[in-house]
Each structure stands twice: as structure tokens, then as C-alpha cells.
A and B are shown apart, each in its own frame.
Chain A
């Protein structure tokens, strides 16, 4: 089949096939509607969706240089031809009227339109003045080549490790959970587990709204007659709850107690998988003297002893979930005949015990042996399209190097310097600032120790998504020595404080490669031109690097004095890709992807050549070349018969074990209460999150009319009893206050979600109603990920009738 489904010729033939009145399914390869005219000019090409980490493939219909239609890609294994409402409308994301189209330099309260050339000079001068006080803040929306270039620019070019992504705010605890358990990041299973599981457990997760296509993969199985039991463990009722047979309403941090309760029951009832544990697991507990991801080794009987207090009744006290339901969970995990998949995302990651609860849910699957069969999987989901591919694999984190390497490890630095052909010692051994620290240093005056002066933000919106915004972002205002550079596609809460705004190309306006939540690497080609002077983020990085190179900045040269990002054409001649007019003379994405590929072998996350991804709708690593020259993906890692790196006869092999014995680590962590709990002054617990219609900070989806009209504004979702106590009704203007800020919102009682007594929910998508001015910036001690889900607040009705909104 051809990727470029260019349908210019309408064949006027009528296949008189006999079938039923219901037109039978049109086979797996049909494409959508086009004009039924003689010469339809619409061409269809594949691309992964721009939004979440599910990684649905869409078919993009382009007519006269504009995207005019979107269809679910029936060739895509992830979504099988379906999309969610955001995906169906992703084409409109390019056409918001207020796209940024020119580089803008701040002059007081206003901006001056400048040329790209001037903009590059401004950035180069800021970096030259103090390279060690410069930081780069990116995201899980960077394409793999973009993230790789940023990584090489910072760590290879500037010897500066102050590069961190917004993914720190969304899945850092998932990473530390995987590392602490398996010694290597990312899920062992894949989305195929959803097609096989008998029991699906949602751990603080609302996939009906956040990962709708994956959720439907399960609930649609059920409507076709399969029996799937769904269990929702959550702090509020959601659309996902409505599809579940069991709803276990827990108190914040109750998940830790529940996981311990299940483990307790497995041991007490003798229903744990003894053979699995004996051959594949070690036991660990946190080491208070040396808190790290290795913890301290404990014996099985110590593990049992530590779990002793977590009886169902005690767990009920801690979590609020009835003991009977804890026993039900214990029975499910204790039944080896069932196939159990656990799903989680922000609920377990944005958690001061994020690393702990991640390891514990992995641990439950290991302890009960619900691991390694299709359908038996602990599956961590991601919220961004390339949080896995770019952040976790390319390693665009303050402590990491590409391919699972660490800046602190001498051999990893040497390997990286060798791949990049850099002189020894170029890569700085000291980890840079993680996200929260980076912004804290940026918002602290230089004379008070704030040693980050310039931050360049690419493809994300920290002015909206950082926690405790007044402290970590808004405080920048008025600090003369600080300079904020923002590459973006629309004006955002971040560009509000920017000193230099760079207009970026987005999605199908550029080439790209994403990596989704199931280890699937996906490629697409540029299809339309970006508006005005908007340009690729990757080009921006290259152009700044070359500007520094031109100015004689030593770091932008490799050992032989060549430019760090030299790109050659087929004949081996260097191409001046840093010049925009020559940028698309070659496929820079392909060049960087091929340069990056050798990095991926160390942790057995092998990627196939770029062209293989052009041909397919993505492949799940490790992708290993077969004897016949084809490339085969891996569905289930660590499992013999699926994973080519598992030795014959070992069935399950954790070949990156932190204890070097091919075993996974099974952790115990004691329950701890949340960092902030409601009290007299702030009696309600506020949780934040997304809604179906809006993605991330809403800067894209709010510009799509169909989505914006469905979800026009942020709101505070309240329990009817809490509302009644405060005299609040749906539609009332209320003010919500925490220790860090306050916000006026509209109350929604019995709305989309149903929080229990004492809980309120506010979505974070609305840039005019920034709930993160209220959220707590308490971190997980290992992952440094903030806990957005638990802030104590109070809600009061605004008495004034005519409340003018600003």
C-alpha cells in the first residue's frame, strides 16, 4: 500500500456487489470522503495525532495547501480507524486566527517585530554572555529530532545540563518507578493488553476523557460481548466510573494504603505467585539514610512483616475504601486465571509518593504473577505525544544523556562524546536543574542567588502549567536581568512574560517523529507551509547553534572543528541547513534520527532505520533486524518469545535489573499522608486535571470552535452538600482560595464529574483562569515531580451580583 494516498483520479466504476442493507465494513484500508468529482485535489497522508500520548494515527486531507479534513487511520493498530473528538478536529489547530507569525522583541510593555536574523543575534548574545546561566525548557511535545538537537546543543555544545522538559511535571515518577523496579524505563506491555485483559483497574485515572481511544478499546470489547470487569479506584466519580462495575472512592494518598492492603492479602491468603517471585524478584524497602532508587534489600520475611499492619480494616481507615472492596481487589490479584491490566497516569504520577506508588503497583503485578502474559500488565500512560520518545528515550532531562545514559556516569559521558565526536570532557558531569528548581532560580534575583538568567522555552507553556505560578513564574516580572525566550505557535500565558517570542511551525507544518506510551515510534512528513515567518523549532535550534559557531563559540565545533549539526546531502556535501531557505533541501529529521539511533542500543531500545517508520504506522521498540532483512517490533518486553533480548529458556528475564541478577525489585513503602491536608481555614481538597475536549494548557484546543463551544471555560466542580453549605448553586460565581492564591470561577454542581464530600475539581486548561496559581509545589523526593492533585482550598460564593470579569 502506498503511504501517500493521493486520490486524484476518481474511477467511475460501480462495483455491483451484493451484500446486506448494512453496508459491510469497508475493509481495513478505506479512506475517508473526498469530493465526488472527476479530479478531487485532496491528497491524504498519515501522521500521528498532535495531542496525547496514545499516539493515534490520523489521515490528513490536504487541498490547495491547507488541511481540510481528518480521518481515523484504519491501518493504525493503536486506534484502528477511530479517533476522539480532539483527534477529529486536530486539523483546525493550524488555523487559529492569532497564530504567531513574526519574531517579536519586547520593548517595555509592547513588542517590536524583528527579523529572524536579529532574533538569532539576540539569543546568541545572551548565551555568549553567560552560557552557564542559560537554560532550555522543552517538553514531551518536542519531536524526537527536536529533542535530540536540543540535547546535543545544550550538553554537547554548551557543556550545560540545564535542560529539562515539562514532562518532569507529568511522568517523572513513572520513570523513577520503572527504574526502581526494572532498572530500565518504559512499560513492558503495550496497548494489546487492553484487548486481552479480564480485569481492568484504573488507578486514579479517567481514560474516558484523557485517553478515550484506549478506553474504548476496552469498553467496546465489552459491548461486543466480552466479559471485562472494570474497577475504578479514584478520588472522584468521572465518566470512566460510569462504565466500571466497581467504584472504590479513596482519600488522597489512599492508593498507597490500598496497594499495601492487596499485597498483605496476597501473602496472608497464600495467593501470591510463589514461583514467579522466587525466580524473578528481589525485595526492597526505602533506605532512610540514603534515599535513592536502590533503597535497601530486604528478605521476603521482612517484606511480609512490613506488610503485616495493612489489614483490610486498617487500609479502610487510611484510604476510606471499605475493607470488603480491598478484599475484592485481593481476590482478583490472587486469581492467576484472570488477566489483569492496571492503568494509571497523572493520579499516580502527580503524587508526593509518586515513585513509591508506581513501584508498588508494578510490585502487585509481580507478586501476584500478573505479568508477562498478554492482558497481564502494569501500564503507565503518558499525556504528551512524545513524552516517551523524546523525553524518556532521548533523555532531555537535567541528569540524562541519550539512550538511558546519565551525565553523572563517566562511561556514559565518554560514549556520548564519542558518538558526537566531541573532545573528552565536553559533557558536564554535574546534573542541571530540574524543572521546579530551574524556574525557582530564574524567578530569584541574581543577587539573591538566582543563577539562571535566560530560559528558552520550546513547545510548552510553563506560565500555565507550572505549580504555584506566583512563585515559579509570575515572579519573573520586573527582574531586569532575566530574559525569557519563547518559541510557540499561539500567544499563551508564557508569552505574556516573554522578552523574545519566536513563531514556530507545528505538527504537519514540519517533519516529525513522536514516540507514544507503548514504545511506538511514529513518523510523519511536512504537508503544509507554516504561516508567515513561523519556522520549525528544530531549525531554530540549529540556526542559533550556527550563529554561535559563526561567532567562534568553541562548543559548537566537534573534535575536527566541524559544526556540531553538520548535515550532508546524498553526495556527502554539507548543506547549509541553518539557512531557512535550505533547511528542507535535505531531511534534517532523518539525518538526526539516524545519528541518534546508535544511542538506543545500550538499553535495548533499538530503533529501526528512519525509512522503516515512513513505511509503517509506527513500530514498538526494540525493533530488531531479522535474518531476512525485515525489522520486527516487540510487543511484550522481558518475555521469552516476544522480546528478542530474553535468553532462551528463561521465560521472564529482567535483563536491566539494578541488582544485576535478571530480577525485578519488589518494593514496600509505608503509607504517608499527603503534603497538604484540609484544615479549618482550607477545608476542601482540590484536585486538578484535564477534560475530554481540551488538551494540556488548551492553547491549541481552545482555538478549535467545536471543542471550545463544548467546554468554554474552566469551572469548579463541587459536591452538592459542600455547595449547599456555602449557598452555592450551579452557575454561581465563586472564589476559590488556597495558601498560594485565589481565583474566581463558575461553580458546577452535579456536572461532568462528581467529587465526594470535601473535594473539588478544577481543570487547568483555561489560560484566563489559571488554577496553578493555587496548586502546591510539593515534590516527590525521587522524581522531583510536583503533586498537583492535592491542595487544600476554600470556596466561597461571591455575593456581588454584578461581578465584572477581567
Chain B
């Protein structure tokens, strides 16, 4: 804490009684004094923190109010930890990813669909695991890992309308059609306006996300690097590749925009290896299992030709 210098406040030092009694007693007393001292110091710290920053009836600006609201109010005091000026811009958007981000990494790199992308199974699984932390079950609307504007959806759309990627920082693109009331389904986690008044445990276990889509036949494993092989397979229509693209392992309801999760702003390991191919449904079938229609499960056919018995 930047304000730990309060502990050296001379007034509090003066409160320290001189040690006198010998032996065990001294030791115990010292502990007690130490505890007392810490107590006084802490109180002083908090009081000190309250008075110069918060004293008086002058209300801070709305922006400051928002900052205070959203950055760790302590569980049981009126004190809001101070935020360093340098940190101010990040207070509302700090996330794990952002903390790991250096400024020079945030430079926009132009998006090139031709950049070779290698599929990394481990990365994909890690991304899926990360994805699960924000969902009660696969199919639940993801929760929001950062503070939100309580009243307005405009701020959501600023980042999630088209999605953005800058360095390691990533805001996914909305995968469904525009609905104007984002908070109807997506709620902030770790809301910080008040400490939790009670906690309850819950043992709900949601269904996990699938890790890959099924294929009608595996065929020959591509020998070329994945991306090159894809390009060749698609461009040359090379039947020798004998390979079938996977079907969607998930429904497309509310996930209509494939590129939201598999395009430019995809999580590591989830990217399409062939983003220049804009027509996903040409090759990747929607599973009738996951997107059942009113159509019958078993296809119906016209009756076969009636063949006369040889006896007739």
C-alpha cells in the first residue's frame, strides 16, 4: 500500500508505552503492546486515510465515485483504498489479461487472414477451460469478468460489437444478433458496490463444452502442415486428401456468427486455420442432432418399386 507511511506517524509512536517488566511477562506484554500498536496504527491509518481524502462534504466527481465503487471497497469500513493516478485508467477494466499486458504490446497489428495458424490442442483445451470459468454450463450466457455500466449497453457494444484484439487483450465479438439489453442475460461477477451479505454454496454441475466436432470419416491424416494442407485441399479440390471437415459440435442458436469465437478475436487454439474461407457452412455441417427441426428424425422415402413375385 502506498500509504503505509502512516505507520510511522509520530503521534502513534508516542502512544507506545515503554517496556519495563522482566522475564516471560515482558515477552507477553511485548506481544500485547505490539498488537495494541498495530491496532492503533491501523486505526490511525484508516482515519488518516479518511480525513485528508474524504473529509468535508465535498462530493467527489461522478467519475471518481464510479472508480471508488468498482475498486475493492473493504468488507467492513467506510474506506476505499486509494488508487494511484497511474492506475486510474485501468481501474475499471483491469483483468487478468490486461495485467499481463505491456503497453507496447497493445499496438494494433493489422489482421492478415493469410497468416499461417497452427492448431495447438493444448492451447485450445486451456481456452475451453478458461471459457468454463465464466459459464455455469455450456450454453449459459457468459458472465462479465469486468465492471459494467449499470444503466447503458453502449459501453458493451464499444468492445463487443465488433470484437477487438490488441496484444494479449481480447474482447470477443457478440456471436448472436444484436439485442439491446445486454444485462438481461450477462451479469457482472464480483460486483464490488457492496460486500456480500451472505454466501451460499451450490452443487450444480453444468454440462461441459464439447472439445471438438465429429467427422464422418477421418481419412488420411494430413501430412503437410495443417494450414498449407487446408489451403491445398480447398483450392485444389484434391480428392486424394480424402478428408472430411468436422461438423459443429454445438448448436448454432445464439451462436450464429462463427467468427465470433473462431475468427480474429478467437481465444488461443480456437482460431480457424483458414479464415479466408468466409463460408463456414459450405463445409461444416450443422448437426441435425444439435439443431433438430420439426422434421422427422428418420428420413422418409417414397415406397420402393413393387416387384412381382417370381411365381406370379
Instruction: Give residues in A with beta carbon < 8 Å to B.
Output: 1, 5, 7, 9-37, 42, 61, 63, 66-72, 74, 81-85, 88-89, 91-92, 94-98, 208, 212-213, 215-216, 219-220, 222-223, 237-239, 241-243, 692-693, 702-715, 720, 723-725, 727, 729-733, 746, 748-752, 754, 766-769, 797-798, 801-805
Contact = CB atoms under 8 A, between A and B. Distances in A.
A731 B73 contact: yes
A42 B139 CA distance: 14
A699 to B, nearest CB: 10
Interface in B161-185: 178-181, 183-185
Interface string B78-113: 111000000000000000000000000000000000
B151 A239 contact: yes
A799 to B, nearest CB: 9
B80 A731 contact: yes
B258 interface: yes
B286 A29 contact: no
B195 to A, nearest CB: 6
Chain B CB within 10 Å, residue with most, of A26, A711, A715: A26
Most buried by A among B79, B181, B292: B181
B203 A710 contact: no
Contacts of A67: 204
A32 B255 CA distance: 10
A92 B136 contact: yes
Q: Is the interface of B mostly helix, strand, loop or mixed?
A: loop
B62 to A, nearest CB: 6
Contact of A32 (B62, B139, B200, B294): B139
Given A16-B282, A223-B178, A713 B197 contact: yes
Nearest to B148: A710
B202 A704 contact: yes
Contacts of A710: 143, 187-189, 191
A802 B201 contact: no
Nearest to B78: A732
B66 A11 contact: no
Contact of B194 (A97, A208, A715): A715
Contacts of B76: 733, 802-805
Given A17-B285, A713-B197, A85 B187 contact: yes
Contacts of A746: 73, 193-195
A61 B228 CA distance: 40
A481 B293 CA distance: 61
A748 B286 contact: no
Interface of B: 43, 46-47, 50, 54, 57-60, 62, 65-66, 68-69, 73, 76-80, 136-141, 143, 150-152, 178-181, 183-191, 193-210, 212-216, 244-245, 247-259, 278-294
A477 B166 CA distance: 61
B292 A29 contact: yes
Contacts of A708: 196, 199-200
Given A31-B251, A703-B200, A720 B62 contact: yes
B69 A36 contact: no
A751 B290 contact: no
* Chain A contact residues, majority secondary structure: loop
Contacts of A81: 253-254
Contacts of B244: 14
A746 B194 CA distance: 6
14 contacts: A11-B288, A14-B244, A17-B282, A20-B278, A23-B255, A30-B290, A68-B137, A85-B141, A95-B202, A239-B150, A239-B181, A706-B136, A750-B66, A801-B50
Contact of B180 (A21, A222, A238, A732): A222
Contact of B290 (A9, A28, A31): A31
Nearest to A212: B184
Given A11-B289, A216-B184, A32 B253 contact: yes
Given A12-B214, A731-B78, A751-B150, A713 B292 contact: no
A13 B180 contact: no
Given A36-B212, A69-B137, A92-B202, 20 more contacts: A16-B282, A21-B278, A21-B281, A25-B253, A30-B293, A72-B254, A89-B136, A96-B200, A212-B184, A223-B179, A239-B181, A706-B136, A708-B196, A713-B198, A729-B65, A729-B78, A731-B78, A733-B76, A733-B78, A748-B193
A68 B57 CA distance: 52
A85 B282 CA distance: 34
Contacts of B252: 23, 25-26, 30
Interface centre among A24, A27, A748, A801 (most CB of B within 10 A): A801
B210 A33 contact: yes
A724 B65 CA distance: 12
Contacts of A237: 151
A318 B92 CA distance: 42
A795 to B, nearest CB: 14
A212 B140 CA distance: 16
Given A21-B280, A220-B179, A692-B183, A727 B137 contact: no
A85 B186 contact: yes
A711 B191 contact: yes
Contacts of B62: 720, 750
A223 B178 CA distance: 8
Contact of A26 (B66, B198, B291): B291
A5 B288 CA distance: 13
A68 B205 CA distance: 6
B131 to A, nearest CB: 13
Contacts of A33: 138-139, 207, 209-210, 250-251, 290
A242 to B, nearest CB: 5
Contact of A22 (B184, B195, B258): B258
A61 B140 CA distance: 12
A428 B187 CA distance: 50
B141 A702 contact: no
A18 B194 contact: no
B139 A216 contact: no
Contacts of A802: 43, 76-77
Given A14-B216, A84-B184, A222-B180, A23 B256 contact: yes
A777 to B, nearest CB: 25
Nearest to B210: A36
Contacts of B258: 21-23
Nearest to A490: B200
Given A709-B190, A752-B150, A729 B201 contact: no
A18 B278 CA distance: 11
Nearest to A219: B180
Contacts of B206: 68-69, 91
A433 B158 CA distance: 55
A218 B188 CA distance: 24
Contact of A34 (B181, B290, B294): B290
Contacts of A219: 180-181
A712 B185 contact: no
A731 B69 contact: yes
Contacts of A35: 207-208, 210
A766 B69 contact: no
A730 B69 contact: yes
Nearest to A21: B278
